[in-house]
Amino acid sequence: MAGPIHSAGATLAGEASSPASYKSALSLLASLFFIWGFITVINNTLLPHLRSVFELSYTQTTLIESVWFIAYFVASIPSARLIERVGYKKAMVVGLCIMAAGALGMIPAARLPSYAVTLVALFVIACGITLLQVAANPYVAVVGPPQTASSRLNLVQAFNSLGTMFAPLFGGYLILGRSTSGTAEAGQVLTQAERLADAQAVQLPYLIVAAVLVLLAVIIARYPLPAMTSRRVSKDERGAHSLWKHRNLVFGIPAIFIYLIAEIGVANLFINFVSQPDIGNVTHERASHYLFLLWGGMMVGRFVGSVLMRSISAERVLAGAAIGAFVVMLVATFASGATAMWALIAVGLFHSVMFPTIFTLGIRGLGPLTEEGAGLLIMAIAGGALVVVQGWLADMYGLQMSFLLTVVCELYILFYAAWGAKPTNAFPDTQV
């Protein structure tokens, strides 16, 4: 994959050479991490709502999230080319505007109401988020010493988790709290009139989201964000190297892919799981408050992980997180009541460090290949689309047993931390 996805193979131009400008740039990027985390997790409250409105199976419900993550696969290469053409700052503005257009598309989807139009609107939002991801993750990795790249990305990703933590409260109040399906007892069947009324509940939240995105786009357009320029090698020199000789990248791509299956599967089915009579026995609205704790654990874990990685290797922290996640997911799968519910909540703490740590370990030592390697890792986020597999397992074998898929995912992350992340044929680290 070609494109300007710069990390260790990039440098910051002009005023970005000073620590103060680095800090300023990271502060702005933190707001982007916050907003795309916030919007992504609104889906977790939206999905049980849409399941009731459209009378969807678990497979159809998780297909909504699959469409969301297919956007990462479809939009990554075009995003890279757009960044190369217009630069990072303008690309971020474009990404925010695309997201705003998708958010506004949710209004006609609610008025019709239409499952198909809902899928299209969410796909558009996800394409905008993809553009932001392609730009922001490698940017954060380059603004500082290579040795602390994992710590730095975990720190900024904590603001992503701050957004994901507040999103369930926002969605729970403005979507689930204002709908019959969100406040009904488990198992209650809605009438056609109630479903049509519930469909309208998404209009106000997404109108608010669209307004915030446009405002943020204007702020970034006027902000003196340091320019990033590439130190790309010539075509002939690039041809002498191979991505596939770097073990940390080869095993890192499926690690990102598999981790997304685990994270998104837990988040998307969380409200339905907690609402079950033998688990939490609460309404969807009440369950969204517990989802707040799941994402809160993600935020806390990233702050803690950022500190730990200053003295403990990223591989060891990742291995410990994988073991912890494996244990609590087994408890969530085979226990019942509050024990199972709190075990599922606890997995957020262990999942927290996985994406940023795998990403920085995956691009470590790639040198002139960093652009392409980072692009492949971003494309691997499309693994979240396979959450539909867990939806199918939930329909076939029960919602709780479907979490065995997550258990298996944690084992691969442990393998990556213990062996797959060790670099081979690494280029010397460079610092910009």
Determine, yes or no, domain membership for 14: no
Among 352, 339, 340, which Cα is nearest to 398's?
A: 340
Is there a single domain that holds both residue 114 and residue 217? yes
Torsion (CA) 153, 157, 158, 164 in degrees, nearest 10: -170
Among 418, 422, 389, which Cα is nearest to 258's?
A: 389
Is there a single domain that holds both residue 302 and residue 157? no
Determine, yes or no, domain membership for 10: no
- Per-residue model confidence (pLDDT) at position 6: 38
CB 205 within 8 A of CB 49: no
Is there a single domain that holds both residue 381 and residue 264? yes
Provide the domain count of the chain.
Answer: 2
User: Which CATH number characterizes residue 398's domain?
Assistant: 1.20.1250.20
Q: Which range marks the domain in which residue 190 is found? A: 20-225
Q: Give the DSSP H or E segment for 12.
A: strand 10-12
Is there a single domain that holds both residue 173 and residue 285? no
Determine, yes or no, domain membership for 3: no
Q: End of a domain among 190, 225, 260?
A: 225
Is there a single domain that holds both residue 221 and residue 352? no
- Collapsing DSSP to helix, strand or coil, 189 comes out as coil
Determine, yes or no, domain membership for 4: no
Q: What is the pLDDT of residues 153-198, one digit of tens each?
A: 888 888 888 887 888 778 777 776 766 665 555 555 666 777 777 6
Determine, yes or no, domain membership for 431: no
- Per-residue model confidence (pLDDT) at position 215: 94
Is there a single domain that holds both residue 121 and residue 51? yes
Determine, yes or no, domain membership for 131: yes
Strand locations in 55-143 (E): none
Between 69 and 351, where is the model more confident?
A: 351
Q: What is the pLDDT of residues 273-288, one digit of tens each?
A: 999 999 999 888 788 8
Whole-number Cα distances in Å, 107 to 88, 114, 216, 230, 303: 30, 10, 21, 40, 36
Is the pTM higher than 0.85? The answer reads: no
Is there a single domain that holds both residue 194 and residue 270? no
Lowest mean pLDDT among 44-48, 143-147, 181-185, 368-372: 181-185
- Per-residue model confidence (pLDDT) at position 214: 96
Q: What is the pLDDT of residues 192-234, one digit of tens each?
A: 777 777 677 788 888 999 999 999 999 888 887 666 654 455 5
- Per-residue model confidence (pLDDT) at position 257: 95
Determine, yes or no, domain membership for 235: no
- Per-residue model confidence (pLDDT) at position 387: 82
Is there a single domain that holds both residue 61 and residue 195? yes
8-state DSSP, 173: I
Is there a single domain that holds both residue 130 and residue 99? yes
Is there a single domain that holds both residue 217 and residue 306? no
- Collapsing DSSP to helix, strand or coil, 34 comes out as helix
Determine, yes or no, domain membership for 51: yes
Q: How confident is the model at residue 15 (pLDDT cuts 50, 70, 90)?
A: very low
Is there a single domain that holds both residue 174 and residue 57? yes
Is there a single domain that holds both residue 109 and residue 178? yes
CA atoms within 13 A on the CB side of 188: 16
